[in-house]
């Protein structure tokens, strides 16, 4: 019984089938016995977890579990301290308030793979990288939060979910661990 850690590429759907023929998880995971523990929109990249254990899937993905997700957001504009403080204090979204547990400016994440198509560059507009941690997972939440403080997201990568990190997985790569080891990692995280 595995937990699959996949670095989901850009424009890949977080499902195994698509009637319109778009790329899906089935293009990267050669297993039919696992399903996603949470979602990552097609425009976002990074860590997605897949398991065949329904209890583990629920523990990871249910909002009441408060599993922390770490995102790296390349944003348009300068991520000033004032804007970072606003992300932590909380912003108003159409579906209610949202706040980052932590937010900080970072350099480009080490080992970052190139994206196809690449992010458009503008000579007169700076961009910044942020690391943002949340314990929710509403639809496009991080993108909406950064936009609310005047920093539209250009690229969004999930770098971690709870105790699991993207590590050195390149886009489209995966690794497996047993569900028993996954449960143990969650238990250690609580202590």
Q: Which of 18, 20, 27, 41 is catalytic?
A: 41
The 3-state DSSP composition of the chain as helix, strand, coil percent (nearest 5) reads 25, 30, 45
Using alpha carbons only, give the angle 100, 143, 54 rounded to the nearest 5 degrees: 75
Distance CA 74, CA 109 (A): 10
* DSSP 8-state symbol, 48: E
Identify the burial level of 85 via C-beta atoms within 10 angstroms of its C-beta, where 0-12 means exposed, 13-18 middle and 19 or more buried: exposed
Active-site residue, 181 included: no
Which residues are known to be catalytic? Answer: 41
């Amino acid at each position: 019984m595995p937990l699959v850690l996949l670095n989901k590429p850009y424009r890949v759907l977080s499902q195994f089938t698509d009637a319109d023929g778009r790329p899906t998880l089935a293009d990267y995971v050669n297993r039919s016995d696992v399903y996603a523990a949470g979602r990552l929109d097609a425009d976002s990249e990074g860590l997605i977890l897949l398991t065949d254990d329904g209890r583990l899937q629920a523990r990871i993905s249910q909002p009441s579990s408060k599993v922390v997700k770490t995102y790296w957001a390349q944003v348009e504009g300068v991520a000033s301290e004032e804007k970072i403080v606003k992300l932590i204090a909380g912003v108003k979204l159409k579906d209610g308030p949202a706040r980052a547990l932590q937010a900080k400016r970072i350099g480009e994440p080490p080992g970052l793979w190139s994206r196809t198509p690449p992010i458009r560059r503008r000579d007169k507009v700076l961009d910044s990288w942020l690391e943002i941690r949340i314990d929710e997972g509403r639809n496009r939440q991080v993108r909406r939060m950064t936009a609310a403080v005047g920093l539209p997201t250009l690229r969004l990568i999930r770098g971690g979910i709870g105790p699991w990190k993207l590590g050195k997985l390149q886009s489209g790569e995966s690794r497996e661990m047993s569900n028993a080891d996954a449960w143990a990692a969650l238990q250690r995280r609580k202590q």
